Amino acid sequence: MFRGWEADKPCYRCLVGHDPDRPDISCADQGVLGALTGMLGSLAAIEAIRAIVPFGADPAGTLLLVDALNFRFRTIGLPKDPGCGCGA
């Protein structure tokens, strides 16, 4: 969950940066496991509900890493990039 307008929370650009020279990569080129998109979509829906009706730990400023090959999950903190300019 990104809330870059808050002073201590990152935005999406803090994570990915800005590279206009990077070629677009499509799912058609790379391939996507359909069942995985459904699972991650369900997780995203739960996060949206948690944003509307706050319960549990605040997910803003964290990143959920999913290793689908070994079916493992890990959450890491995502810092705000001081050079990003979000929330300014």
User: Tell me: the pLDDT tens digits for 5-63?
Assistant: 888 888 888 887 776 666 666 666 767 777 888 888 999 899 889 888 888 888 888 88
- Band (74; pLDDT cuts 50, 70, 90): very high
Query: SS3 for 42?
Result: helix
Asked if 61 contacts 75 with a C-beta cutoff of 8 angstroms, the reply is no
Phi, psi of 86, rounded to the nearest 5 degrees:
-70, 150
Q: Which residues contact 58 (CB under 8 A, 6 or more apart)?
A: none
Residue 69 predicted with pLDDT over 80: yes
Higher-pLDDT residue of 23, 72: 72
Asked if 15 contacts 1 with a C-beta cutoff of 8 angstroms, the reply is no
Question: What pLDDT sits at residue 23?
Answer: 65
CA geometry: angle at 76 spanning 49 and 28, to 5°? Answer: 75
